[in-house]
Structure 1
Amino acid sequence: MRVADREKTAERLLKSSAEKFYDPEVDIDWSAPLVDGLFYIPEQRISLYGTPLYDSLTHEQRIELSKHELASIASVGLWFELLLMQMLVKVVYNTDPTTRHAQYALTEVADECRHSTMFARLVERIGCPAYGPVKHTHRLGKLLPVIGYGPAMYGSILVAEEILDRLQREAMNDETVQPIVRMVNRIHVLEEARHVRFAREELLRGMDDLRGFEKPYQKWLIGFVSMMITRAIINPEVYAAVGLDVREAHRQALANPRFQETIRWSGERIMSFLQEAGLVGKPGMRSWRRSFLIG
């Protein structure tokens, strides 16, 4: 019965993917001019918003900082999409390719390839570096497709996707944000809804299959990966773009109650789901608190 349910869900998602998908090369006008005076993320979501350092910036510097923070978010999102694709391919490697389940996983990989290209084009279009995560996080990321499996793997995917999803849903409806950014956000939000459905159902099935001794590892892994994700979103090097001391700006950002609240707000829906699923708890609680997803 569970196999039949999984196949039925995959069949629906395959049909939805065939009926509605976007090609960023065609559906986004990359030559459209950027609009003077508009932010690149909502101002209140800038990591330094509300700090003394932010108050010291001119309006133009604040817009410039928002541009570089967008570049960091997009390039970190791209980095995680690449890890996600590796994990999905590993699932297909061990699955009968004639099943709808395996075929939808491959369809999702195709979606993520387009999204990664879209994020790369966006960073290129706004003229910023592809910051990505800091070096030690980038190195650690290589381990995730190796050590990640089961509910923690799908849970990690959901944490990254749903945090980004909530930030993008807000930005795509904010007229103070650049039109090209809003379009990128809209495409990603519409297509990620299918991916979230797939990952949530796989996580719940995986929890039912876990043996008792595996649960502590799963709780530790998802807590640790979630902390790495939230700490990676804003690469500290973005602050140099507006002439700020990188270390001091990074310190103020991490201590900023508004930034911490942004992370908690963006993760509310997924944290509620993970808690109900039984994936939030010891030995992962130290990482969860450091992630800002739990107060």
Structure 2
Amino acid sequence: MSARSSAVQYDPHVDIDWESPWRSEQFALPQESVTLYGTRVWAKLAGSDQRTLALHEAVSRWSTVAYLSAILTGNQLRRVAEEGLNSSDSRNALDEVSKSSRTTITFGRLVRATDLAPYKPPRGTATAVKLLSFLPLGAASHASMLLVEETFARTMAAAVTDPGIEPHVRQAVRIHRFECDERFEFARSEVLAAQRKSNRISRAYNRLLLAVLANVILRLGVSFEVYRSIGIGPMRGALISRRRRAAIRRRDAAATVAFLDSAGMLDGAVTAALWRLTGVVQSDERQ
């Protein structure tokens, strides 16, 4: 048994009290992560509407991370199929499968507990997202996991210590974070190892692929449809939240992007231009 697989693991089916009622008088998302927080529209909303919007944005985020984690799990199963069952890489891949599955189950069950329908990826992006299933088993594969789960973890991080957060959410985030540090450290080591092992053409291909996917992944967090829950049209909500969304995206992706940059995953003129389109990398940061 590897050191990674011997760590204490949680069970999302029993470590959260799913039988207790959902407490709608509390927030499902840290207020600083709500896309209208700090705007004049937010200040004018009644407390109940603020909580309603936060709930719908939380469900949108949970739906997205559960969906993307399930897709990325397929890459780890491909690794096992290609390398066999007895290699250390295969054992680590299976360990990642179990942990990604717990992420999908945890936040899928959170969505169910709210009695809201999951939010689906916007039209036109679903096909692009499905390309994650065909990622080459290199640096882009592990870097994509960081973009999906590490940025999400930072969005939800404040929920653990915020007494105003709904108890199901607080517990789900707590147990998810329990193993996150180890998983993210492993993903980083895999990115670095893949960079060292690959040739110049392979590195360029992985950089370009990741930059394209980043423009999809980093914009999928919150559906514009959430604004209907408080009587605001999606287009108006998108315009009002534009700056706030960009600020949240930069905040949550900062550590991941800094690592990817240090690993050489942002090198190259085309790659750098694509990353600037995400809004998480400024022009002067790549000079």
Does TM, normalized by the shorter one, top 0.5?
yes
Aligned to 1:91: 79
Aligned to 2:9: 21
* SS across alignment from 2:90: helix
Aligned residue type for 2:258: S
Aligned to 1:242: 230
Q: How does 1:1-295 map to 2 (within 5 A)?
A: 11-16=2-7, 20-253=8-241, 255-256=242-243, 258-281=244-267, 282-295=269-282
CA RMSD of aligned residues (A): 1.7
CA contact (8 A) 1:168 1:186 kept: no
Q: Tell me how far apart the structure 2 counterparts of residues 233 and 117 of structure 1 sit (CA, whole Å).
A: 18
Larger fraction in helix: 1
- Pairwise CA distance, 1:249: 0.5
CA contact (8 A) 2:28 2:51 kept: yes
Aligned residue type for 2:45: L
CA contact (8 A) 2:72 2:132 kept: no
Aligned residue type for 1:87: N
Q: Tell me how far apart the structure 1 counterparts of residues 274 and 42 of structure 2 sit (CA, whole Å).
A: 28
Task: Count matched residues.
Answer: 281
* SS across alignment from 2:55: helix
Pair 1:101–1:148, CA change in 2 (3 A):
closer
Deviations 1:153-197 (A, max 9, x none): 111111111101222222211112111101111111112223212
Deviations 1:223-260 (A, max 9, x none): 2212211210001111111111111111222x22x332
Q: Tell me how far apart the structure 2 counterparts of residues 148 and 239 of structure 1 sit (CA, whole Å).
A: 37
* SS across alignment from 1:283: helix
Q: Tell me how far apart the structure 1 counterparts of residues 42 and 207 of structure 2 sit (CA, whole Å).
A: 36
Aligned to 1:7: none
Which runs of no fewer than 5 residues in structure 2 stay unpaired? 283-287
CA contact (8 A) 2:4 2:95 kept: no
CA contact (8 A) 1:204 1:277 kept: yes
* SS across alignment from 1:131: coil
Aligned residue type for 2:259: F
* SS across alignment from 1:104: helix
CA contact (8 A) 2:57 2:226 kept: yes
Q: Tell me how far apart the structure 1 counterparts of residues 193 and 32 of structure 2 sit (CA, whole Å).
A: 38
- Pairwise CA distance, 1:36: 4.4
- Pairwise CA distance, 1:199: 1.2
- Pairwise CA distance, 1:37: 2.9
In the TM superposition, structure 1's runs of 4+ consecutive aligned residues that sit over 4 Å from their partners are none
- Pairwise CA distance, 1:106: 0.9
Aligned residue type for 1:37: E
CA contact (8 A) 2:128 2:216 kept: no
* SS across alignment from 1:213: helix
Moved more, 54-63 or 20-29: 54-63
